[in-house]
Amino acid sequence: MNLSDKLLNKEKLNDFIKALKKDFSVLLPVKDGNLIFFKGLKDGIKPCFDYSIASSHPLKSIFLPQREELFRFKIKKNEIEILESSMNDEKRIIIGCRPCEAKGLTIIDKPFLEWQPRDEAYLKRRENTIIISILCPEPEDTCFCTSLGYNLEDGSDILMIELSGCYYLEVLTERGENLVKDLPLAEDKKIKEKEKEILTSKIKRHISINSPIAFDNPLWKEISQKCLGCGICTYLCPTCYCFDIADEKNSRFRCWDSCSFSYFTKMAAHQPRPEQFQRYRNRIMHKFSYFKERFNEFACVGCGRCIRHCPVSMDIMEVIEKSGVRSQESGVKG
Amino acid sequence: MENIYRPKVLEIIDIIEETPDIKTFRLGADISYRPGQFGLYSVFSEGEATFCIASSPTKKGYIECTVKRIGRVTDALHNLDLGDKIGFRGPYGNSFPIELFKGKNLLFIGGGIGLAPLRSLLLYCLDKREDFSEITLLYGARSVSDLVYKKEINEWKEKINVFLTVDPGGETPDWKEKIGFVPKVLEELSPKREDTFVITCGPPIMIKFVCSSLEKLGFSDHKIITTLEMKMKCGIGKCGRCNIGKTYLCKDGPVFSLKEIKNMPDEF
Ligand SMILES: Cc1cc2nc3c(=O)[nH]c(=O)nc-3n(C[C@H](O)[C@H](O)[C@H](O)COP(=O)(O)OP(=O)(O)OC[C@H]3O[C@@H](n4cnc5c(N)ncnc54)[C@H](O)[C@@H]3O)c2cc1C
Ligand code: SF4
Ligand code: SF4
Ligand code: FES
């Protein structure tokens, strides 16, 4: 199929969204105080597309919910009956997320969908959800997406760019194309490149992550001294996907977990990462070394959430720069 | 839609008390697996825990696991009776490279409950005895009462060489076997290294010392095989907690050669 870019008149935006509502459940960014949340389209809800602060919850929470029942069971004497949990399998459209968040999903896809067996619940939600991201009007001062070497378009079905009077819709997939069949063609394709350039030129922070970070680097201890192991950075990260599995009385569920916590790897007689610097190192090395070796890309999209929300101001960019210093002499063993 | 976290429900058809805190459970099941693989076993409403499959695939109709009582799930398991049902997901992970072992001498070195994963391979080799050359087992535990599979080991003695040892102070008055830590006994035995693969499992500290003793004895890295342990939840490369560096134990392991282990960061 030939994909062609479209234009959406701002005055038609409401009608466009309303029309989608016939076949999809539509999720939109909504302002609540100073925060942005993705909410279902209901009467009276006012979407906010020109937000410049990342949504409070990372987009992953829609695909890998913070807590999810895996199944239920009934125990009768010594008979066990397992009952499948009902899953929300409605068709959804997310409109107005940041491009980096859509990219984040393609990173979670790797272990969840490329590695067998596939995680079927996650797959179902990925298949059922169309993503229309919007080019950020302004980057935050913690953004560093351009350092990670991915395309702004990755992971989105349509990339929306606000122009005066209309939205430019860069159509990236067939299912995106199907949504905008009736909209007028965007003739001038140079506009989108120009707008992307304007945005990326506003991003202030840049790092180069060329060499693998050294596991044995003695700086790790010093760098991570401040880290409290609170796990906020992992919960808010659009690419962190670790989870725990546990039972309640009648069900088994999974919930987000964090490699920042000491019990994450605690075993009966043994704790391989007893110190916080080892846990912090694991998080950073997973993102910039281990994941890269397994899947040939970084498990970080440069959204800056972990920098903005860390209670003790740990700055992942600083850390990458510092920890990389000696990588030439003592790269990861092997 | 297939739910990959949904376990099979299996019945406990036999329970053997190995030591005061270790039991072996036999579960009725038709599951094909390879020695060295593991599963996620669950007591419903308590949770899941990881154990190796300790039985041999040459025996059909059941699988076995040997479980040390140590926490929530293992406590609950120890309280179950014959006829009770538990959950099982698996088999997961890689396995021992049996093809490499054909026609070779095998030296098994186990410590404590670490004999469980070795038992799967050992029973397999006993059932296919003619496929392998000389087989030797060196097995140690803290004390006599901590040795697992005592009855079976006596039967194994008919087909293979067996050396048992307990830590100093762990012996009983009538103990006639060796006294001393496994690596020390190993060095005394000074087993021949020609055409020999070593398969070892035990507490991490024992594995580390056994490996350095083996190196002293001249065994090469790629002929020392061990199974490692990290905390696991999913068993299938998703939950993200069993990694040593870029290596995921549930996916790439749990069986590795010392050569492979030397390429991992020292964080296990
Ligand atoms: C590949 C593999 C194979 C294995 N094979 C076997 C086997 O064959 N047999 C076997 O017995 N085991 C085996 N294990 C180990 C086994 O998985 C664990 O012993 C088991 O999961 C313990 O489960 P549990 O729920 O009873 O313990 P948990 O309740 O999880 O507790 C385990 C220990 O964790 C610590 N702990 C728990 N909660 C806390 C807390 N809140 N704060 C601090 N510490 C805490 C305690 O020290 C406790 O003793 C294997 C592990 C792996 C990875
Ligand atoms: S948010 Fe900051 S303090 Fe908390 S675990 Fe992450 S780096 Fe450590
Ligand atoms: S910047 Fe921080 S929160 Fe954002 S993707 Fe990278 S590691 Fe995760
Ligand atoms: S046990 Fe979950 S990733 Fe290995």
B9/A80 Cβ within 8 A: yes
In chain B, which residues have their Cβ closer than 8 Å to the Cβ of A84?
Answer: 3, 6
**pLDDT tens track for B10-66:** 999 999 999 999 999 999 999 999 999 999 999 999 999 999 999 999 999 999 999
Going by pLDDT thresholds of 50, 70 and 90, the confidence category of residue A329 is: very low
pLDDT at A328 over 60: no
Tens digit of each residue's pLDDT (9 = 90 or more) over A63-104: 999 999 999 999 998 899 999 998 878 999 999 999 999 999
**What is the Cα–Cα distance from B194 to B196, expressed in whole angstroms?**
5
Of B4, B204, B246, the CB nearest to A293: B246
First-last CA distance in chain A: 45
Q: What pLDDT is stored for residue A324 in this prediction?
A: 66
The pLDDT score that the predictor gives to residue A1 is 62
Mutate to test the pocket of ligand 4, among B41, B242, B244 (most ligand atoms within 8 A of CB): B242
pLDDT given at position B116: 96
Closest residue by Cα to residue B266 from B233, B234, B240, B228: B228
Under 8 Å between Cβ of A134 and A127: no
Answer whether A312 contacts ligand 2 (Cβ < 6 A).
yes
pLDDT on residue A55:
85
Q: What is the DSSP letter of B24?
A: E
Q: CA A205 to CA A317: how far, in whole Å?
A: 9
Q: State residue A321's pLDDT score.
A: 80
Beta strands in B194-241 (DSSP E): 196-201, 224-227
**Those residues with Cβ within 8 angstroms of residue B118's Cβ, 6 or more apart along the chain or in another chain:** B108, B110, B199, B200, B201
A37 close to A220: Cβ distance less than 8 angstroms: no
Q: For residue A276, how far is its CA from the centre of ligand 2 (angstroms)?
A: 10
- Distance separating alpha carbons of residues A283 and A266, to the nearest angstrom: 16
pLDDT band at A167 (very low <50, low <70, confident <90, very high): very high
Q: Is A258 in the pocket of ligand 2 (CB under 6 A)?
A: no
Of all residues in chain B, the one with the smallest CA distance to A123 is B1
Residue of B nearest to A269 (CA): B203
Q: Is the distance from CB of B115 to CB of B54 less than 8 angstroms? A: no
- Per-residue pLDDT tens over the stretch A136-162: 988 999 999 999 989 999 999 999 999
Nearest chain A residue (CA) to B260 = A334
Read off the pLDDT of residues B192-222 as tens digits, 9 standing for 90 and up.
Answer: 898 999 999 999 889 999 999 999 999 999 9
The chain-wide mean pLDDT, for chain A, equals: 90
A304 lines ligand 3 (CB under 6 A): yes
State the nearest Cα–Cα gap between B203 and chain A, in angstroms: 8
Contact A215 B203 (CB under 8 A): no
Question: CA A309: distance to chain centroid?
Answer: 15
The DSSP line for A216-263 is: T-THHHHHTTT-----HHHHH-TT---EEEEE-SSEEEEEE--TTSGG
**pLDDT tens sequence across A237-247:** 999 999 999 99
Lowest model confidence (mean pLDDT) among A11-20, A40-49, A286-295? A40-49
Kindly report the backbone phi and psi dihedral angles of residue A243, in degrees, each rounded to the nearest multiple of 5, phi listed first: -140, 165
Across B234-243, average pLDDT:
96
pLDDT over threshold 60, residue A332: no
Interface with B, mutate which of A63, A119, A276 (most B CBs under 10 A)? A119
Burial of A311 per CB tally in 10 Å (0-12, 13-18, 19+): exposed
Q: Which pTM was predicted?
A: 0.93
A301 lines ligand 3 (CB under 6 A): yes
Query: Quick one: closest CA in B to A121, which residue?
Result: B3
Task: Tell me if A232 CB under 6 Å of ligand 2.
Answer: yes
The ipTM is 0.92
Least Cα separation, residue A225 to chain B (angstroms): 19
Measure the CA–CA gap between B97 and B257, rounded to whole angstroms. Answer: 10
Q: Pick the ligand that lies closest to the CA of residue A314.
A: 2
Mutational pocket test of ligand 2: of A314, A316, A320, A323, the residue with most ligand atoms within 8 Å of the beta carbon: A314
Name which of B21, B45, B268 to mutate to probe chain A: the one with the most chain A Cβ atoms within 10 A of its Cβ.
B45
A272, A265 contact by CB (below 8 A): yes
Residue B256, strand partner residues:
B226
pLDDT above 80 for A327: no
The first and second tokens of residue A268, run together, are 């009966």
Distance A58 CA to ligand 3 centre (A): 10
Of A129, A109, A99, nearest to A20 (Cα)?
Answer: A129
From the CA of A271, which ligand is nearest? 1
- Strands B62-68 and B22-28 turn out to be antiparallel
Nearest atom in ligand 1 to B76's CA: 26
- Considering every ligand atom shown, identify the ligand nearest to the alpha carbon of residue B204 and give its number: 1
* Residue A333 pLDDT grade (very low, low, confident, very high; cuts 50, 70, 90): very low
CB of B240 within 6 A of ligand 4: the answer is yes
Using CB distances shorter than 6 Å, the residues near ligand 1 are A 263, 266, 268; B 38, 47, 49-52, 54, 65-68, 70-74, 113, 116, 229-230, 232, 254
Query: What residues of A are in contact with residue B111 (Cβ under 8 Å)?
Result: none
- List, for residues B169-192, the tens digit of each pLDDT value: 999 999 999 999 999 999 999 998
Atom of ligand 4 nearest to the CA of B240: 3
How far is it, in rounded angstroms, from Cα A273 to Cα A258? 13
Pairwise CB contact (< 8 Å): A252 & B2: no
Mean pLDDT of B94-121: 96
Flag whether pLDDT at A121 surpasses 60. yes
Tell me the H-state helices in chain B: 72-78, 98-101, 115-127, 150-156, 182-189, 204-216, 249-252, 258-262
Q: What is the maximum alpha-carbon separation in chain B?
A: 60
